[in-house]
């Protein structure tokens, strides 16, 4: 069965075509700069070199049209007929409280998704655009929505309610939702398998450390707490987002600098985090390079980043009353031995002991990086959100 995965951003569409149940990626690519000058499609079939095609791509419908055309193209394609695509799986960032699992897209579901725009105005509109674009380009082929929030839907109330007037939850559904759920779900399952056990027997903390970053306490397979909250701004320090700060700072700064809502939002989401502190870059590779060159602000950004991961490791171990496994994933978590080392340094008292050689050798591949004696196992699992979407989509289609 071939499943097309679509992940739409404001000006981009990422896609992968999977062959299931082999979990094999036949082709993947991305359309970028949609609606701007210099729009390009990069496409990589599994058995041929990557191609880049420049074209006028005005909107998401046109982007999906280009994707289908290249998947069918005699030179770069991997299918002969569009009917070979059994279904399309879409990443949808916010599922609110109602979407606790992936679901088949119907007109009623589209209505519900539209209502959720209020909760995720930066993400859901693009996801909805992507679904509409595939409905237009691939009529008759089922679409499945897979939610970033769904894995977190079993958090206890004391973890998801903010200590604000309770009426705000009743009126506006203001609560912790959590994000990156597909990856926290995937890597916790994989890590347990790698350790020869199952998730329902252990306590884990999964660290998704990419440009966006979040950690989740996974107790017996259930997300019991997670660092991102009502929006993806809360929690860890990120590439350009601040993560946890005193909320009074925002009010203070809005007064002092006469910031509008929009400007305050931009400061917190785009000009903070690694780039804000270092003044160097939002990219951890460049932060590490500058730190090694002696740039103090880069070292400070690095130290804050790793310190905050460590604080949550301690907090979540306490919240779960123990810890068996720490999982590192996503761009930084998978690739950076120095970040992993710094995040768990000094945690031997909790039974966390990294094997230096294994840690340094683990780069973008599944690896156990703790010593044999370490009470808490430390594991690297590359992120694979696309595969989770493909598997969920296939499961729903098979049940139809």
Can you tell me which of 12, 42, 132, 211 binds ligand AMP, judged by CB under 6 A?
A: 211
- Within 8 A by CB and 6+ apart from 387, the residues are 18, 23, 186
**Part in contact with ligand AMP (CB under 6 A); list of ranges 61-69, 134-142, 281-289, 291-299:** 281-289
Complex with ligand AMP: residue 134 or 214, whichever CB lies closer: 214
Look up tokens 């590439």; give the residue. Answer: 239
Can you tell me which of 244, 283, 360, 366 binds ligand AMP, judged by CB under 6 A?
A: 283
- Within 8 A by CB and 6+ apart from 340, the residues are 328, 333, 354, 359, 362, 369, 378, 380
Complex with ligand AMP: residue 202 or 309, whichever CB lies closer: 309
Q: Is 371 one of the binding residues for ligand AMP (CB under 6 A)?
A: no
* Catalytic residue list contains 148: yes
Contact criterion met (CB below 8 Å) for 220 and 236: no
Closest CA to 13 of 142, 125, 130: 130
Supply the minimum distance, in Å, between the C-beta of residue 291 and ligand AMP: 11
Can you tell me which of 154, 220, 285, 356 binds ligand AMP, judged by CB under 6 A?
A: 285
Binders of ligand AMP among residues 216 to 275 (CB under 6 A) are 239
Question: Do strands 143-147 and 103-104 pair parallel, antiparallel, or not at all (unpaired)?
Answer: antiparallel
Look up tokens 């306590």; give the residue. Answer: 203
**Part in contact with ligand AMP (CB under 6 A); list of ranges 94-102, 111-119, 301-309, 325-333:** 325-333
CA dist 347 and 201 (Å) reads: 23
Closest CA to 218 of 193, 251, 184, 266: 184
Q: Is 210 one of the binding residues for ligand AMP (CB under 6 A)?
A: yes
Q: Is 335 one of the binding residues for ligand AMP (CB under 6 A)?
A: yes
Contact criterion met (CB below 8 Å) for 53 and 41: yes
Active-site position among 148, 219, 355, 392: 148
Strand order in the sheet with 143-147: 51-54, 40-45, 24-32, 13-19, 2-8, 85-92, 143-147, 103-104
Q: What is the CA radius of gyration of the chain?
A: 21
Q: Is 207 one of the binding residues for ligand AMP (CB under 6 A)?
A: no
Q: Is 390 one of the binding residues for ligand AMP (CB under 6 A)?
A: no
Q: In DSSP terms, which residues pair with 31 in a beta bridge?
A: 13, 41
**Part in contact with ligand AMP (CB under 6 A); list of ranges 157-165, 177-185, 284-292, 308-316:** 284-292
268's tokens: 């917190």
Complex with ligand AMP: residue 283 or 366, whichever CB lies closer: 283
**Part in contact with ligand AMP (CB under 6 A); list of ranges 34-42, 307-315, 324-332, 372-380:** 324-332
Supply the minimum distance, in Å, between the C-beta of residue 334 and ligand AMP: 7
Nearest residue (beta carbon) to ligand AMP? 331
Total of residues contacting ligand AMP (CB under 6 A): 12
Q: Is 12 one of the binding residues for ligand AMP (CB under 6 A)?
A: no
Q: How many other CB atoms are found less than 10 A from the CB of residue 193?
A: 13
Supply the minimum distance, in Å, between the C-beta of residue 330 and ligand AMP: 4
Contacting residues toward ligand AMP, per CB under 6 A: 210-211, 239, 283-285, 288, 330-332, 335-336
Active-site residue set: 148
């Amino acid at each position: 069965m071939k499943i097309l995965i679509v992940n739409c951003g404001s000006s981009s569409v990422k896609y992968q075509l999977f062959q299931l149940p082999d979990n094999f990626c036949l082709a993947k690519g991305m359309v970028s700069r949609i609606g701007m000058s210099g729009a390009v499609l990069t496409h990589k079939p599994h058995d041929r070199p990557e191609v880049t095609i420049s074209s006028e791509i005005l909107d998401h419908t046109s982007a999906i049209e280009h994707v289908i055309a290249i998947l069918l193209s005699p030179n770069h394609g991997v299918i002969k007929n569009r009917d070979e695509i059994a279904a399309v799986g879409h990443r949808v960032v916010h599922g609110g409280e109602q979407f606790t699992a992936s679901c088949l897209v119907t007109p009623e579901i589209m209505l519900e998704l539209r209502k959720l725009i209020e909760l995720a105005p930066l993400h859901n509109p693009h996801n909805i655009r992507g679904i509409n674009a595939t409905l237009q380009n691939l009529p008759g082929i089922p679409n499945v929505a897979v939610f970033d929030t769904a894995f977190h839907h079993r958090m206890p109330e004391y973890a998801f309610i903010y200590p604000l007037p309770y009426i705000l939850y009743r009126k506006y559904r203001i609560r912790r939702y959590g994000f990156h759920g597909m990856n926290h779900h995937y890597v916790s399952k994989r890590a347990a398998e790698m350790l020869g056990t199952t998730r329902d027997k252990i306590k884990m903390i999964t660290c998704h450390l990419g440009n966006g970053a979040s950690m989740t306490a996974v107790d017996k397979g259930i997300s019991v707490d997670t660092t991102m909250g009502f929006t993806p701004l809360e929690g860890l320090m990120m590439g350009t987002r601040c993560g946890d700060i005193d909320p009074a700072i925002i009010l203070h700064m809005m007064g002092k600098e006469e910031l509008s809502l929009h400007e305050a939002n931009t400061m917190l989401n785009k000009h903070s985090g690694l780039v804000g502190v270092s003044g160097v870059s939002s990219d951890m590779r460049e932060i590490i390079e500058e730190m090694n060159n002696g740039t103090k602000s880069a070292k400070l950004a690095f130290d804050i980043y790793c310190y905050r991961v460590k604080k949550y490791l301690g907090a979540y171990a306490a919240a779960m009353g123990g810890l068996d496994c720490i999982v590192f994933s996503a761009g930084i978590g998978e690739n950076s031995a120095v970040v992993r080392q710094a995040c768990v340094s000094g945690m031997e008292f909790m039974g966390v002991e990294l094997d230096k050689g294994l840690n340094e050798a683990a780069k973008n591949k599944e690896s156990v990086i703790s010593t044999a004696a370490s009470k808490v196992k430390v594991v690297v699992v590359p992120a694979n959100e696309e595969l989770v979407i493909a598997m969920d989509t296939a499961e729903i289609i098979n049940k139809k």
